[in-house]
Structure 1
């Protein structure tokens, strides 16, 4: 591919800038609490726009006495606020009419969720912003997620005080870009202590009251989960496969006991996975076209039960259950189907479950046999109340990880900025390893930081420069910066992976800052490939996140990242177009952002879960390399559901296992137990082992169905009558194809 000309890059840059902040566009900087840095981040990004020749004005600013905000805002011209005097009292309001008369290309409006004084008779702030947008003026604004109407009741209960000012979710959905601004809860509390958020007289009450660390952890989780849902909806609208957000669909009948059991199980599971609960009841249309109605009392009881479980219920009439079910799954973006059947009580060959397993290759299917419905294993509910702060190894260092969605997001830059601040405060730190990728902004931010020389390594005729682990341990700084956590060390190093070097540094009592892209997490490997079509080979086990003390989300919108690419701030010019056409598409970046947000939220939610508390998750594998996808999926589910993962590999007694070592190594990396058995009767032996182990959930893979053949998953579903069974598609590439053309 020929390299783009410099003039072409410049033209694309100008064009993208105009498109990304064109007339009437809305960009929201979303935070999870006051003081996380929304206004600062917005003003810094606006300063970058100003350097490109697009000059914003400030329509409203809440500096709250923060000197840094006043300095940043001093770079822009402000539209003076409107003074209103009512009953002898003076009020200041944003002068919307003056902004409309001036008609700037972009206006910064701080605090989107703000009501004007009732006596003024003016619109709410978000309605005023709507007027500006309708007039062709682009708006950059800030918002704390607690002010979204749908989140306000939950936050009010959490903080034990009402959220008085709210705005409708529908307005926020109109935003062209939403940037999440994140810091660790402990850092926000430190800002509060220093008087950077509240006046001195409010600090003690805030720290001991609504801004206790457990509350902040929960607020952050709610915000990230909310933002991820918004992104998931965007991803589906953009033509994404199905998003990465869990949508659990429970297929129910009107049989009272079966309905109650299936709904209870599905509701608890959707809450545990942090997902959405959908309930579907199918009614048969007779040959004469009649639609027998469902008893009204039964329907009302079903709908009430669904509402109590936080779900949405649909009732559809059909002549073809399988076809209607599949169309509903496609329309709703369902990720998991839960259904029951009677096992051997009814003819298996006519079973809807059999048809689903054969013809629905892109959906995870959880089978609950009717004989077991009266005694389903409980799904642990998400913990209520306070979330304890994790304890690190006694004497060990503090681990801060900057997590992003993709290269070029700004993880290394954010890490270096934090290091510069600490250096000015006198902290003894050193850069152990830094990869600037020759990005000017990153190199500039690293200026003045002390570096530890790398050590040269000769590998395949090349000279590589690697981190000097022994040099770091000998120097013993208070803090060391180690970029690119997922890096693999060359052969001959005592640790094969860089994250293992980091663990050794932490064990020596040295604090560590590091960076990671979400696609490098081991259990997300298959989902990343499914969403993007690209396989990531350097990974770290998810258990690494359990050791992290502060996980920081570094967020950037797809539009902004694509602009950075076109400006040459991520890759050399000759690689830009290829990157934009492949990995850095808007849908890919949206999916990766969603994954990053969910990972940060879930780490706070699940990091303290005691493995094995809820029993066993049994993963059945054969001697196939693709079964690694099952093990990775099992590790994710076991962590979310509070189960310990056991991988059972059954091989034929007369064959030599080919992939045993790889599967066992992967299992142990993901903190599971690997067990190998030999039998020529795979299905019968597996069912026997299930009955002996009594797992809380069984996980199996389903390969592409072959006509005339009954799959292993089908055989086990037909015979395993006392354990929930989850069946997932195995061949990632095959299952990216549409089933019905």
Structure 2
């Protein structure tokens, strides 16, 4: 029987900037796996003369770099063919977004990594958040720096695991001042430019969000594969505002928009349209106003035809992975709530992991019956 070809697994260590410890963490993992009997080699290592990184590499086999002649000089790149010939179980490859020298076989290092993966070799690699293609414009706005070396988003999407290597901006600046990232002559310039605290805070948030997106995508794929939905959790906040024909709906919507803004959450607005009841012209115009206001807040307006509001709200919350629901206080009398229970109470019984915000407003009838 012919053994099926195995593609290598790719694990990427990602950070908000140089100096957070991605390479060190990768080497640490390499040592741990080697101690467990895994055949590990360093395919490419960029130490940038950082003492801690140099020392951490000791004890791991290093594949010599390929010598590439270019006019009167000789440059070096990762020797992909030598790694494949060596056939380790795991290759450690630093700086995934690196652009190879002109005479190299492939243009980018991530393309070399793809060859290793196709050869059945597992790869651990490193990259900074600013090197991701889709974030290039965002990074440029944050830091004023246009990053030239980038990797396509599909490289991260195809990775088997993403690990964020995180430190606080203050810790990173301290490392920089201590000379652990750049040479002394570059420290002041770096602190006044790329390594400004506000830049680092924004880049850190980008890195953490990227990992959150990746985790949630994996969980959704897991759910779609038929696995237990008990494994699914919501990484990002999502706010659902329930509007109706009551005038206070606009107040609810504005409040919900503020909550979503505070939480950096996606905003959804739901109107449950009862098929057994026709809306008056005034009510229809009111719902159109709600929809227009929702779009002004960059939200998604959802209109569902259902005679059972509870079912509609619960289904929408589940489908859109809602974490927060904004509702107005019940228009029912105390006796009605006592005997039948409020809609809010019934939702809470069904949606255990969703927070509900009850917004107190002045008592009002529908838009046709003030």
Question: Could you tell me the TM-score, scaled by structure 2's length?
Answer: 0.74
C-alpha displacement of 1:267:
3.1
1:98 and 1:256 map into 2 onto residues whose CA distance is 72
2:226 aligned residue: none
- Secondary structure at the aligned position of 1:343 is classed as coil
1:343 aligned to 2:331? yes
C-alpha displacement of 1:60:
1.7
C-alpha displacement of 1:170:
4.7
1:98 and 1:107 map into 2 onto residues whose CA distance is 11
Provide Cα deviations, 1:395-414, integer angstroms capped at 9, x if missing partner. xxxxxxxxxxxxxxxxxxxx
1:205 aligned to 2:189? yes
2:260 aligned residue: 270
1:281 aligned to 2:297? no
Provide Cα deviations, 1:620-677, integer angstroms capped at 9, x if missing partner. xxxxxxxxxxxxxxxxxxxxxxxxxxxxxxxxxxxxxxxxxxxxxxxxxxxxxxxxxx
1:140 aligned to 2:124? yes
2:142 aligned residue: 158
1:87 and 1:285 map into 2 onto residues whose CA distance is 77
1:194 aligned to 2:178? yes
- Secondary structure at the aligned position of 1:333 is classed as coil
Which of 300, 305, 308 is residue 296 of structure 2 equivalent to?
Answer: 305
Runs of 5+ consecutive residues of structure 1 not aligned to the other structure: 1-21, 289-293, 374-741
1:179 and 1:49 map into 2 onto residues whose CA distance is 16
2:357 aligned residue: 366
Distance 1:209 1:78, change over 3 A: same
C-alpha displacement of 1:344:
6.3
Which of 231, 241, 250 is residue 251 of structure 1 equivalent to?
Answer: 241
C-alpha displacement of 1:225:
4.5
- Secondary structure at the aligned position of 2:357 is classed as strand
Deviates more, 1:246-255 or 1:211-220: 246-255
Contact 1:83–1:92 under 8 Å retained in 2: yes
1:180 aligned residue: 164
Provide Cα deviations, 1:446-483, integer angstroms capped at 9, x if missing partner. xxxxxxxxxxxxxxxxxxxxxxxxxxxxxxxxxxxxxx
1:287 and 1:256 map into 2 onto residues whose CA distance is 18
- Secondary structure at the aligned position of 1:206 is classed as helix
Which of 2, 27, 32 is residue 16 of structure 2 equivalent to?
Answer: 32
2:104 and 2:300 map into 1 onto residues whose CA distance is 41
Contact 2:239–2:326 under 8 Å retained in 1: yes
Map of 1:345-494 to 2, 5 A cutoff? 354-361=342-349, 362=352, 363-369=354-360, 371=362
Map of 1:297-696 to 2, 5 A cutoff? 301=292, 304-307=295-298, 311-340=299-328, 343=331, 354-361=342-349, 362=352, 363-369=354-360, 371=362
1:61 and 1:52 map into 2 onto residues whose CA distance is 22
Provide Cα deviations, 1:32-61, integer angstroms capped at 9, x if missing partner. 221121111211221122222212122221
Higher RCO (CA-CA < 8 Å; seq separation 6+): 2
2:315 and 2:129 map into 1 onto residues whose CA distance is 34
Contact 1:286–1:319 under 8 Å retained in 2: yes
Distance 1:258 1:127, change over 3 A: farther
1:57 aligned to 2:57? no
Distance 1:372 1:139, change over 3 A: farther
Distance 1:61 1:128, change over 3 A: same
- Secondary structure at the aligned position of 2:147 is classed as coil
